[in-house]
Amino acid sequence: MRSKSKSKNKNRSKLAVFAYALCIIVMGMFFLLQSNGSQAVKDQSLPQTAISSTEKVNSNPSAINSIFTSIPKEPVYTYDIVDKSPNPEINIGDSTTLVLKVRNTGNQTWSSSGDNPIYLGTSRTADRETVFYKDGDRGWFSGNRIMMDKKTVKPGDMVNFTFQVTAPQTSGIYREFFTPIVEKIKWLDDKNISWDITVVDPKKPDEKLKVTVDGKPEKYIKIKLSEQNLYAYENNEVKYKFQASTGRPGMETPTGDYAIQNKFPVQYSPEYELYMDNWMAITPSGSMGIHSLPYWIYKDGSHVYEDADHLGTPISHGCIRVSLANSKLLYDWAEVGMPVIVEN
The CATH number of residue 95's host domain is: 2.60.40.10
Pair 208, 83 in one domain: yes
Q: What pLDDT, on the 0 to 100 scale, is given for residue 229?
A: 98
Q: Which domain holds residue 111?
A: 79-213
pTM of the model: 0.73
Contact 91, 197 (CB under 8 A): no
Q: Does any domain span residue 139? A: yes
**Residues 93 and 168 occupy one common structural domain:** yes
In a shared domain, residues 137 and 44: no
Q: Can you give the C-alpha Rg of the chain in angstroms?
A: 40
Instruction: Say if CB 111 and CB 151 are below 8 A apart.
Output: yes
Among 213, 247, 272, identify where a domain stops: 213
CATH number at residue 296: 2.40.440.10
* Cα–Cα distance list, 241 to 69, 117, 143, 225, 235 (Å): 46, 36, 31, 13, 15
Statement to judge: residues 86 and 207 lie in one domain: yes
**Given this model, what pLDDT does residue 303 score?**
86
Any domain includes 175? yes
Measure the CA–CA gap between 156 and 68, rounded to whole angstroms. 20
Average pLDDT across each block of 10 residues of the chain; the chain has 344 residues. List them in order. 47 56 60 50 44 47 54 89 98 98 98 97 97 97 98 98 98 98 98 98 95 96 98 97 97 97 95 94 96 92 87 96 97 97 97
Do 155 and 191 lie in a common domain?
yes
Is residue 150 domain-shared with residue 26, that is, in the same domain?
no
Asked whether residue 47 falls in the same domain as residue 148, the answer is: no
DSSP run (H or E) holding 177: strand 172-182
Q: Could you give the count of Cα atoms lying within 13 Å of 309 in the half-sphere of its Cβ? A: 1
Provide the pLDDT for residue 301: 85
* 159 in a structural domain: yes
Which of 166, 197, 213 marks a domain boundary?
Answer: 213
Specify the DSSP class assigned to residue 142. Answer: E
Asked whether residue 261 falls in the same domain as residue 224, the answer is yes
**Alpha-carbon gap, residue 100 to 193, rounded angstroms:** 9
Query: Is residue 93 domain-shared with residue 48, that is, in the same domain?
Result: no
**Of 69, 93, 112, which residue is a domain's last?**
69
- Do 84 and 197 lie in a common domain? yes
Residue 209 placed within a domain: yes
- Are both 53 and 177 inside the same structural domain? no
Count of CB atoms situated within 10 Å of the CB of 258? 21
Work out the burial of residue 249: count CB atoms within 10 Å of its CB; fewer than 13 is exposed, 13-18 middle, 19 or more buried: exposed
Q: Give the residue from 130, 234, 124, 107 showing the smallest Cα distance to 190.
A: 124
Q: Is residue 121 part of a domain?
A: yes
Quick check: is 331 in a domain? Answer: yes
Structurally, how many domains does the chain consist of? 3
In a domain, 74, yes or no: no
Q: Does residue 147 share a domain with residue 106? A: yes
Q: 207 lies in a domain?
A: yes
For residue 43, the model assigns a pLDDT of: 45
